[in-house]
Amino acid sequence: MVDAAPTAVAPAGCAVELRHVHKRYTTRRSRRAAPQVVDALHDVSLSVARGEFVSIVGPSGCGKSTLLKVLSGLTPRTAGEVDFGGEAGRMGMVFQQPLLLPWRTVTKNLLIPQDINRTLPEHEAQERAAGMLRMLGLAEFADRYPGELSGGMQQRVGIGRALMHDPEILLMDEPFGALDAMTRDQMGMDLLDIWERDRKTVLFVTHSIPESVLLSDRVVVMTPRPGRIADIVDVDLPRPRGLENINTPEFGAIVRRIRVLLNSEHSAH
């Protein structure tokens, strides 16, 4: 018998819906060792509306990254259903590290999806890359190599690469986790600017509760492994938002609510 997990009912125009998704890994420490079964996700149900920004928080090892990998198709689910509104959604993926090729210039790194899929005429792909660099504030670095860029600039290129094929859904797995605090704050504001302009559907994994509240429409709070959805918190703060929102009582109240949820789930385990 599987316990029912909380399900968020998204507004009309659903971008993605997960229904009772499970993920189980079977591993061996050695050839002679007995197989070990690890339940990473347990009965996860979630609906995300088109254009919605949803963050996912939870303790280490709770299945946050696994959830994104299941959505992207990088990892097959063990059970359950994933529905992209009746159509296979185009997705872009941004990882914690930008994963740029050091021997390719910034422009050529942006063009990696084009080199693989050839979805655009060459001149149009070049124009899109140039426009992306202008939007990211990196136009003057088009011919530089990743080693000549700061960590924040490299991550901007990683985000730009994920946006190059105009995805409907952007999956972001702790993209700012390796950055210093000031750069992380600025990257969050840059991401909000991009989201406000294009209104992509974003699922954003983070360990930072304030970051999740500042960026999101809703925050999904997960339990320790096996990862379930403990609750989904609405972020009823006006947009556009800036770093000044962090100091408001309303912001603090939402952060405290999420912390209480996480602490209570940790204590229950």
Model pLDDT for residues 127-138, shown as the tens digit of each residue: 999 999 998 899
Helix, coil or strand: residue 91: strand
- Is the pLDDT at 20 greater than 70, yes or no? yes
Torsion sign (Cα): 125, 127, 129, 131: negative
Question: Taking 50 as the threshold, does the pLDDT of residue 6 lie above it?
Answer: no
Other beta carbons less than 10 A from residue 84's beta carbon:
17
> Model confidence at 214, in pLDDT bands (50, 70, 90)?
very high
pLDDT at 37: 84
pLDDT at residue 89 above 60? Answer: no
Q: CB 166: neighbour CB atoms within 10 A?
A: 12
pLDDT tens-place string over residues 151-203 = 999 999 999 999 988 888 999 999 998 888 898 999 999 999 999 988 999 99
Look at residue 133 in the predicted model and tell me its pLDDT. Answer: 94
Task: Say yes or no to pLDDT of 11 above 70.
Answer: no
Q: Give all domains of the chain, ordered by start, each with its CATH number.
A: 14-28+36-89+168-268 (3.40.50.300), 100-166 (no CATH)
Tokens for 263, please give them. 């602490």
Whether 24 and 38 have beta carbons less than 8 Å apart is answered as: yes
Q: Where are the beta strands (DSSP E) in the chain?
A: 14-27, 36-49, 53-57, 79-83, 91-94, 169-173, 201-205, 218-222, 229-234
pLDDT at 166: 86
Q: For residue 4, name the pLDDT band (cuts at 50, 70, 90).
A: very low
Q: d(Cα 20, Cα 4) in Å, to the nearest integer?
A: 8
Contacts of 227 (CB under 8 A, 6+ apart): 40, 41, 42, 44, 58, 62, 63, 64, 66, 67
Query: 3-class DSSP state for residue 204?
Result: strand
Q: What is the pLDDT of residue 88?
A: 54
Residue 228: strand, helix, or coil: coil
Quick one: pLDDT at residue 1? 28
226: preceding bond cis by omega (within 30 degrees): yes
pLDDT tier at 9 (50, 70, 90 boundaries)?
very low
Residue 173 CB neighbour total at 10 angstroms: 21
Check whether 236 has a pLDDT greater than 80.
yes
Q: Return the structure tokens found at 115.
A: 């080199």
Of the candidates 186, 197, 184, 183, the one whose C-alpha atom is nearest the C-alpha of residue 239 is: 197
The whole-number pLDDT of residue 266 equals 64
pLDDT at 12: 54
Q: For 73-121, where are the alpha helices, taking DSSP H only?
A: 106-110, 112-117
**Does the pLDDT at position 86 exceed 80?**
no
CA 111, CA 164: separation in Å to the nearest integer? 8
By the 8 A CB rule, do 218 and 231 touch? Answer: no
What integer pLDDT is reported at residue 53 of this predicted model? 97
pLDDT surpassing 90 at residue 209: yes
Quickly count helices (H) and strands (E) in the chain: 8, 9
pLDDT over 70 for what percent of the chain?
A: 90
- Token pair in block for residue 38: 């690890």
Full-prediction pTM beyond 0.95?
A: no
Residue carrying the six token digits 């600017």 = 193
